[in-house]
Amino acid sequence: MLAKLHDGAFDDADWLYEIKWDGYRAIADINKKDLRLYSRNGLSFKEDYPTVYEELQKIKKEAVLDGEIVALDSEGKPSFQLLQQYAKDNSIPICYYVFDCLSLNGKSLEDKPLTERKEILRSVFKDNDLIKYCDHIQERGKDFFAAVKKQGLEGMIAKRADSVYTENSRSNDWLKVKNVVMEEAVIAGYTEARGSRKHFGALVLGVYKKGKLIYIGHTGTGFNNASLKELYQKLQPLVTDKNPFGIKVPVNAPVTWVKPELVCNLKYSEITDEGHRRHPVFMGLRIDKAAKEVHEEVKDTGEEDTSIEDTEKADKMETTKGTGSKKVEITHPDKIFFPGEGYTKGDVVAYYETIYPHIIKYMKDRPESLLRMPNGINDKGFFHKDAGLKGPSWLKSIPLYSESAEKDINYIICNDKPTLLYLANLGCIEMNPWNSRLKHLDKPDYLVMDIDPSEKNTFEQVIETAKVIKQVLDKAGAVSFPKTSGATGIHIYVPLGGKYTYEQGKEFAHMIAILTQEQLPDFTSLERSLSKRGKSNIYIDYLQNRKGQTLSCAYSLRPKPGATVSTPLEWKEVKSGLHPSDFNIKNIMKRIEKKGDLFSGVLLKGIDMKKCIKKLEE
């Protein structure tokens, strides 16, 4: 999980604040069979930092830790330049500051709030000279940043206290506030040395923007004779005749171009209007970053990113995703799924990777009916129910007898992120779970009123129908939760708490539908057949409450133009002007951040159906 750049410190009781460490981000995967200590791009740190590796081996619990390896100067402050020298001078003190726990004893913690994860983290190990718990303060971000500045540290990280951990995501839940302006840059070439200087004069630097390397400046400071020689030798195998920028750059000296593979840390004072870094200083090479990862810093603008960088297209995404042994190969990520917007299969996978903490509660322990659209939304697609035995060995499925097929069908059960990504990779743009869970498959958790308009109905009529259903349910004393279908209708859910059979739920829904239709006889119908009800009548569909019937769940994408999302609503939002197209793949995370999960009530204690029926009959 990555942080967005934020302009300044702030106070907020819902946030906590940590030191921004100036080192190498490192994941420690500790288990009985093996120990892995590696960088963001998978580079092993076992040989580079053996003392940290050996200390981690002493931890008896299985865990996945997230932190940063830091070299400390004589005052105990982190120094990236000293970290570069550690390979030659093992006397330099180093430390692994751990700030998050992603898994404990084989159980993922990623969907738990940050404060809870950090509390669990405290129990995993005891502080020592090599491994330390990264502490924090809450609320007083301005005071904390003032202390950071006084100590001359690089900056601070602000984290939303209740945020979940979203892998490969740069979101508004983690923000970095810098004291020292520093970033990564790609080395694209070097100028010839002048005067008494040897090897080279200045490094020519760039960052990626929308897939292209752009020039950001050049630096000839931050070197000594030894580092000049060492870096020059590393650059020689990369020398090329090709200018990586593809255009002339403003350098007043002959340039030797190199393949853009090496990444360095750069300190500077400001950015000019042309995007060039003023007074840049070379701070050392980064061994933990690939050049293609180095983009312009993304500032916190209030918009949500669904992947590591918006400028990275899906065809440059990872080919495998998942955790532990559960790996999913993402095939054809550059295939266009939404032609109008240009969204790809990779964008769909990235969306489900980001929305996972919110959607999983409405999918967990439920059989999934798979609507596969491997060629995108212009393809009719097909339902693939019997998919459970054809997937990877770790995929969970359950055989259930189908009367229509007259055989057992192996339904996939989606209980974790790798399974969700596996479904997305199959071409499942939308997710369609059952209304009941494994522990009571014959008793649904909720009933659904599906408002399904015909060709000549307006969405204003859909809204009016939803309001009447709400009035009927209110009279019954039944709590209800609306959401957009993501297409042309609205779904209204009533929690049942697994206390009633599908048949009982269907009959109660039928009663609600009859009472609604009586109030709106001009444009609603209970006739399922479109040919019989005509093109001007909304179908109040209560038959969705039969066993095995499915609808797209909350936060599911829909295979519709605009990449709309089936989105929970507040009842006060169900009014004139509302439209399903308001909520889509790009803005749903911002909405959740603002309003939270409006739909969680559907999983709580169900209604008392007898009392509700009695009130309606009064």
CATH of the domain at 288: 2.40.50.140
- Whether the CB-CB separation of 181 and 267 falls below 8 Å is answered with yes
Residue 387 has pLDDT above 60, yes or no: yes
Does 304 reside within a domain? no
Instruction: Please indicate, yes or no, whether residues 422 and 452 belong to a single structural domain of this protein.
Output: no
Instruction: Please indicate, yes or no, whether residues 462 and 393 belong to a single structural domain of this protein.
Output: no
- Whether the CB-CB separation of 117 and 100 falls below 8 Å is answered with yes
Domain count, the chain: 4
- Please say which residue of 381, 406, 433 terminates a domain: 433
Instruction: List alpha helices for 360-435, DSSP H.
Output: 417-425
Does 354 reside within a domain? yes
What's the pLDDT tens digit per position in 50-59?
Answer: 999 999 999 9
- Please say which residue of 134, 161, 177 terminates a domain: 177
Ramachandran bin of 549, using left for φ above 0, alpha for ψ from -120 to 50, beta for the remaining angles:
beta
Q: What does the radius of gyration of the chain's CA atoms come to, in whole angstroms?
A: 28
Query: What is the structure's pLDDT at 33?
Result: 78
C-alpha span between 398 and 509 (Å, rounded): 28
Residue 608 has pLDDT above 80, yes or no: yes
- Please say which residue of 127, 143, 177 terminates a domain: 177
- Whether the CB-CB separation of 462 and 453 falls below 8 Å is answered with yes
Instruction: Please indicate, yes or no, whether residues 429 and 451 belong to a single structural domain of this protein.
Output: no
- Whether the CB-CB separation of 334 and 346 falls below 8 Å is answered with yes
- Whether the CB-CB separation of 62 and 105 falls below 8 Å is answered with yes
Return phi, psi of residue 180, to 5°: -95, 125
Look up tokens 């900056």; give the residue: 155
Q: Percentage of the chain surpassing pLDDT 90?
A: 63
The CATH number assigned to the domain holding 83 equals 3.30.470.30
Q: Give the E-state strand segments of 379-513 in sequence order.
A: 382-383, 397-402, 407-413, 446-452, 481-484, 490-495
Instruction: Please indicate, yes or no, whether residues 511 and 600 belong to a single structural domain of this protein.
Output: yes
Does 76 reside within a domain? yes
C-alpha span between 179 and 236 (Å, rounded): 35
Instruction: Please indicate, yes or no, whether residues 601 and 457 belong to a single structural domain of this protein.
Output: yes
Does 144 reside within a domain? yes
Instruction: Please indicate, yes or no, whether residues 187 and 124 belong to a single structural domain of this protein.
Output: no
Instruction: Please indicate, yes or no, whether residues 9 and 96 belong to a single structural domain of this protein.
Output: yes
Distances (CA, A) of 198 to 123, 189, 284: 53, 16, 18
- Whether the CB-CB separation of 536 and 521 falls below 8 Å is answered with no
Does 261 reside within a domain? yes
Does 467 reside within a domain? yes
Query: What is the structure's pLDDT at 289?
Result: 79
Instruction: Please indicate, yes or no, whether residues 419 and 321 belong to a single structural domain of this protein.
Output: yes
Least confident of 157-171, 378-392, 437-451: 378-392
C-alpha span between 290 and 313 (Å, rounded): 16
- Residue 616 host element (H or E): helix 609-617
Instruction: Please indicate, yes or no, whether residues 498 and 581 belong to a single structural domain of this protein.
Output: yes
Q: Percentage of the chain surpassing pLDDT 70?
A: 94
Question: Domain limits at 369?
Answer: 314-433
Query: What is the structure's pLDDT at 323?
Result: 55
Q: Which among 393, 202, 149, 175 has a CA at the least distance from the CA of 305?
A: 175
Return phi, psi of residue 183, to 5°: -155, 170
C-alpha span between 14 and 231 (Å, rounded): 45
C-alpha span between 483 and 498 (Å, rounded): 21
357 three-class SS: helix
The CATH number assigned to the domain holding 372 equals 3.90.920.10
330 three-class SS: coil
pLDDT confidence bin for 31, thresholds 50/70/90:
confident
- Whether the CB-CB separation of 350 and 368 falls below 8 Å is answered with no
Instruction: Please indicate, yes or no, whether residues 102 and 251 belong to a single structural domain of this protein.
Output: no
C-alpha span between 275 and 271 (Å, rounded): 6
What's the pLDDT tens digit per position in 232-277?
Answer: 999 999 999 999 998 888 887 889 999 999 999 998 877 877 888 8
Q: Which among 452, 461, 460, 456 has a CA at the least distance from the CA of 536?
A: 456
- Residue 343 host element (H or E): strand 343-344
Query: What is the structure's pLDDT at 388?
Result: 64
Query: What is the structure's pLDDT at 200?
Result: 94
Does 441 reside within a domain? no
Instruction: Please indicate, yes or no, whether residues 166 and 41 belong to a single structural domain of this protein.
Output: yes
Does 302 reside within a domain? no
pLDDT confidence bin for 297, thresholds 50/70/90:
low
Residue 207 has pLDDT above 50, yes or no: yes
Instruction: Please indicate, yes or no, whether residues 101 and 133 belong to a single structural domain of this protein.
Output: yes
